[in-house]
Structure 1
């Protein structure tokens, strides 16, 4: 039982779209990620995902609309819902993710941005 400084953890990596695990509880993982530009359309058949924006503005695109998620705000993407997170104008966005440990980075979609083994920091 030790506290975790989220901002210090963000300082330990620079790559985008490659989540890092910082904690685990009740089968859920807490992850940090830096996002920039476009990602990939995907869904998670059995898992919900929570995105907390720490820095910047996240654009969460759904097939029927786009939600703008600002610093200090969260969005929960329900299981089975296709989504495409992205940023605007080359802005880097920092997010905290909360999701089941079994969640695949890009669901069943294989893409150049897919990360299969997300490291702990």
Structure 2
């Protein structure tokens, strides 16, 4: 076993793409993913799982059909399974997602914004 901590800031320097989650660790069947976001994403949902958003740097708004939640640096929010949502960030925001292995960023949809899955940095 390797006893080396994972440095989030160092990992965030390894990519520039927006809306393209990168895996940094796994725990049981869950992955910890870093992603940089800016602007609007697409409406989507994850039918089989909840999804955790943790803001590392910046501000993130997650819109729902009946409201929204605003997250600041250091805040976390859990989106329940099967709840349609649309993330938005006015300026670049760095977040960590925690979700089961195999979850695709656009949910059940395969569209232009669908990122390659299971990409490690």
Task: Encode CA deviations 1:36-69: one digit per residue, 9 max, x unaligned.
Answer: 1010000000111101000110000000001100
1:74 is displaced (CA, Å) by: 0.4
Aligned CA RMSD, in angstroms, stands at: 0.9
- TM-score, length-normalised on structure 1? 0.95
Structure 1 spans left out of the alignment, 5+ residues: none
- How many residue pairs align between the two structures? 119
- TM-score, length-normalised on structure 2? 0.95
Structure 2 spans left out of the alignment, 5+ residues: none
Q: Which runs of 4+ in 1 moved over 4 A?
A: none
Task: Encode CA deviations 1:7-29: one digit per residue, 9 max, x unaligned.
Answer: 00000001100000000011000
Aligned to 2:119: 119
d(CA) in 1 for partners of 2:95, 2:105: 14
d(CA) in 2 for partners of 1:51, 1:6: 15
Task: Encode CA deviations 1:70-119: one digit per residue, 9 max, x unaligned.
Answer: 0000010010000000112xx00000110000212111112211013331
d(CA) in 1 for partners of 2:102, 2:50: 11
